[in-house]
Chain A
């Protein structure tokens, strides 16, 4: 795989700080984060509980505001945007996969997948749609409601939804966290394929070394700071690194 370093990064953060609460009870969740997510790269963010990895994901994605610093999505500085404008950015450039409850219960799998396009009023590209659901093996499941799908299928529908609008970047928050290991690794393999074959950018938060090993690069977070970075990871290397961090 040839990585192109010419194009601008999909998402960046400069001097990102995030505080919760104030005074004595103040907690610093992000403590001077400088990070850049290159296009077409699969990044995993790892760290122990409370290290601020979820906060980093949320602030990068514009779901939460930074206390100080700035962040960009597709060259747009989102830190100063209004709520409505950030919503617009999310709709245009970002796809999400959450740990659970990814789908609207009253919509069929297909409707869930096309939801972002429906919201923005964009037409579905049928070829692209067919390709995604072909890869994710959802062809027979399209008319089913979420309640009629297995956990793995539900997460695949969520990934399909994230992919369908070809977003600038996909944020995934423990996407395999609720799945058994087989479904989990299948899902992560799909995500990896999306990065390799379609040049999709993905940022994933996880605490599972095996899941992280599917990524191109891993950022290690501790106490709101990026303490290490690992390229071409394997599960064993990740595990060793985590042990050093007191895991």
Chain B
């Protein structure tokens, strides 16, 4: 039986090419993702090894459970006093112990103050500024040029950063921190690790005392230990544990690197899941093509199967044979997919490394990727082949004797009932998933959506068939006989046509869904920014807004007032929530907050709560306790907020300082004095415009706070919209593979039906239909299916997207914005794609030898 299946595949490989390719494309996405994240992981794991390999033991704050995998490059708070570092150094077996301290700041490019900095709203790559210990094993730095740091006021940079930022030895290097700009003399350049593999960041070292000054911290955040030779590092680590303060730990460098790699892998796993989801979508679409291909092949081979049945082959054996064929295809396709995926990852990592430097380890093919690829590829192909296989196994021996393989005109009734049921059940499950409080809502939404889509596919045959009939007069008018024949062809095989269109429908549906969501999001953003009375938003490109910068802004003539907002986290009832810190005196001057009572009334010791907290049963007048670190404060709930998404708790700055210590400011909203500053639109000659005023403020900041940027609401809105568009772009690109597969499906179906209609086409050519007309007939057929699939997809996508937006009303989504522009773009693109998908089939059809075609075994 296997030999028969293999022979059948070998005998007619052409009809399976596109099918295999569709599977391969989906598989390649899965494989590429895994190769890619694997390389990323090994790249970072190399980096972590570089970072920690010099130190035999590292002493640092013990990780707390609620401190989730944070940014591994962020500066940590100082917890080790210089004396404690000495104590560690005194432990037996320790050769040298160096306290490490990172400064929150940014190394500025040479001539930063003159550069048109206002345009760069997003900062450059981050800077890593450390204290210089002087031991290359601890600093992980090899001196390349110049000398090491000997006294205060000196700095060394990594060898790539110095030229990139425009500095030479002896230059004054500027560092911006929360307190302003400090300058240091560049005395040397260093190489980090073996290859200065810094993932694009700038590495700088300054003198120990300077680092403490800039960080505003007399302590060290970690201690790196180099052991004397021949020491058992694990024992040394446990020895050191004996002398260090509570809440800290000693860990070997090797373990630390492994730990960091593991943490990163946890993050990468989400990337994997995200990308594999798109791979699965692509495979799901591919499944439609497989169903179609096998269905058509079974029809075409009806006589063959009938003959087999007549000579005694059982239905079960025929079923097994077709499934074996599916396995053969799946194996070939998956292999191809793995190769394609590897090449895709190779190409993509090369592209990324052009922009981000060499951040990848060697690209290898992980075993996981191979197993997943074969597993998914085979599973999808087999599942898709089951229905056609069952169908084939039911072919009666009598069929062998039939004159031609006309497919029975089975009514669509059963299909419609099943389709409608699945559609309704799917819609119901999606609704449940969205609104009911289930443990894992996404499972309900996912399963529901798949059911709904299959239901819609089944139902679409009922729509497409009469639609093609209805379009006949129009197609006849536009394309004469070619158009009519195209409509007939679609109508003749409603199942096949609608399956083909449905493959496209899925991709377009997801696109339309995302477009609807992002378009609505943009409306929200626009409303948000147009509701503000602030003339400018001030933010820092690195970390929090410095308090000093706010003073500078307020001191500029023409600035009426500023209002700052900070965000942080605090625990309530053991769960972490977001806390917004506001200035009640000015907050309502800059933003129309929706709260009851007004934000003006928020006093010290009071808190406003958002709907999330209200849902917990907290009411106005209740006393609540918030915890942050070691601070507890008890507040009275004095008001409620209308929306979610702007912080669960609102408190004022005085309360914020009690709770959080220093409040780190996310942004400062600036309002100009109306008597001095005119709206840009007013264009009063004498007055300063908002743009000019913003430039004035920016200039005032340039000297000491070059990292603080002012943006007008319009600019920010644009920036936000750019990000939203980018999101849409990324998702569209990931859905691209599903769309390509869907188009392959259209091409595949047409190709197979051209084979099926060989005699018919031969006849048409014999009675005088020109090659170009044959081409046009196939193209029209393709376009109708493509546009139909697209329109169906858009209707479903916009509907689902609207449902999603409406369900997020709590987050400020006021209404659905339908992305008309995108919908038009999709429709035009679908028509063009239809033309493209028809190229191969039309070429084949128009080149058919008339005599051979007429004589073909039909």
Contacts and interface: CB of A to CB of B under 8 A. Distances in A.
B768 to A, nearest CB: 3
Given A101-B854, A105-B760, A119-B481, A90 B491 contact: no
A78 to B, nearest CB: 13
Contacts of B383: none
Interface in B161-179: none
Interface stretch (B91-99, B131-139, B769-777): B769-777
Interface in A39-64: 58, 63-64
Interface string B467-483: 00000000000001100
Question: Chain A: interface residue count, which band?
Answer: 20 to 34
Nearest to B488: A106
Interface in B743-791: 759-760, 763-771, 773
Given A90-B766, A118-B480, A104 B760 contact: yes
Contacts of B488: 104, 106-107
A186 interface: no
Nearest to A117: B481
Contacts of A156: none
Contact of B489 (A91, A103, A106): A106
Contacts of B765: 87
B768 A84 contact: no
Contact of B406 (A96, A98, A147): A147
Given A63-B850, A63-B851, A96 B767 contact: yes
A223 to B, nearest CB: 21
A161 B768 CA distance: 12
A119 B768 contact: yes
A118 B489 CA distance: 17
B858 interface: yes
A87 B763 contact: no
A161 B763 CA distance: 12
Contact of A119 (B406, B489, B769): B769
B771 A87 contact: yes
Interface in B485-513: 485, 488-489, 491-492
B849 to A, nearest CB: 9
B495 to A, nearest CB: 15
Contacts of A98: 763, 766, 854
A151 B481 CA distance: 25
Contacts of B770: 84, 87-88, 91
A63 B480 CA distance: 24
A161 B767 CA distance: 9
Nearest to B404: A101
Contact of B768 (A91, A104, A105): A91
Contacts of B854: 98, 101
Nearest to A102: B763
Contacts of A103: 763
A104 B485 contact: yes
Contacts of A104: 485, 488, 760, 763-764
A150 interface: no
B766 to A, nearest CB: 5
Q: How large is the interface on B (under 10, 10 to 19, 20 to 34, 35 or more residues)?
A: 20 to 34
Interface string B832-858: 000000000000000000110010001
B708 to A, nearest CB: 71
A119 B766 contact: no
A83 interface: yes
B485 A106 contact: yes
A64 B763 contact: no
A175 interface: no
Contacts of A118: 480-481, 484
Contact of B771 (A83, A95, A105, A116): A83
A234 B489 CA distance: 45
A227 B770 CA distance: 37
Contacts of A195: none
A107 B769 CA distance: 15
A121 interface: yes
A181 interface: no
Contacts of B480: 118-119, 121
Contact of A58 (B759, B769, B773, B851): B851
A58 to B, nearest CB: 6
A111 B492 CA distance: 16
B845 to A, nearest CB: 14
Interface string A178-204: 000000000000000000000000000
A115 B482 CA distance: 11
A88 B769 CA distance: 8
B768 A116 contact: yes
Interface string A66-84: 0000000000000000011
Nearest to A94: B768
Nearest to B403: A100
Contacts of A84: 770-771
User: Of B491, B766, B771, which is in contact with the most chain A CB atoms at under 10 Å from its CB?
Assistant: B766
Contacts of B771: 83-84, 87
A212 to B, nearest CB: 22
Contacts of A92: 768
A83 B491 CA distance: 31
A36 interface: no
A143 interface: no
Given A63-B851, A98-B763, A106 B769 contact: no
Interface in B395-410: 404, 406
Contacts of A101: 404, 759-760, 763, 854, 858
A236 B107 CA distance: 110
Contacts of A58: 851
A94 B765 CA distance: 12
A122 to B, nearest CB: 11
Give the interface centre of B485, B763, B767 by most chain A CB atoms within 10 Å. Answer: B767
A102 B858 CA distance: 12
A63 B481 contact: no
A147 B409 CA distance: 11
Given A63-B850, A106-B489, A106-B492, A119 B767 contact: yes
Contacts of A63: 766, 850-851
Given A91-B768, A101-B763, A105-B760, A119 B850 contact: no
B154 to A, nearest CB: 83
A213 to B, nearest CB: 26
Given A58-B851, A64-B851, A121-B480, A106 B491 contact: yes
A96 B759 contact: no
Nearest to B769: A119
Contacts of A106: 485, 488-489, 491-492
Interface in B29-49: none
A37 to B, nearest CB: 18
A107 B777 CA distance: 14
Contacts of A90: 766-768
A121 B479 CA distance: 11
Nearest to B491: A106
B766 A96 contact: yes
A30 to B, nearest CB: 14
Contact of A115 (B481, B489, B492): B481
Contacts of B773: 119
A105 B854 CA distance: 14
Given A91-B770, A106-B489, 17 more contacts: A63-B766, A64-B851, A84-B770, A84-B771, A88-B770, A91-B768, A91-B769, A98-B854, A101-B854, A102-B763, A104-B760, A105-B492, A105-B760, A116-B767, A118-B481, A119-B764, A119-B769
Closest 7 CB pairs of A and B: A91-B768, A106-B488, A118-B481, A90-B768, A101-B759, A106-B492, A116-B767
15 contacts: A63-B766, A63-B851, A84-B771, A87-B769, A90-B766, A92-B768, A94-B768, A96-B763, A104-B485, A106-B488, A107-B485, A115-B764, A115-B767, A119-B764, A119-B773
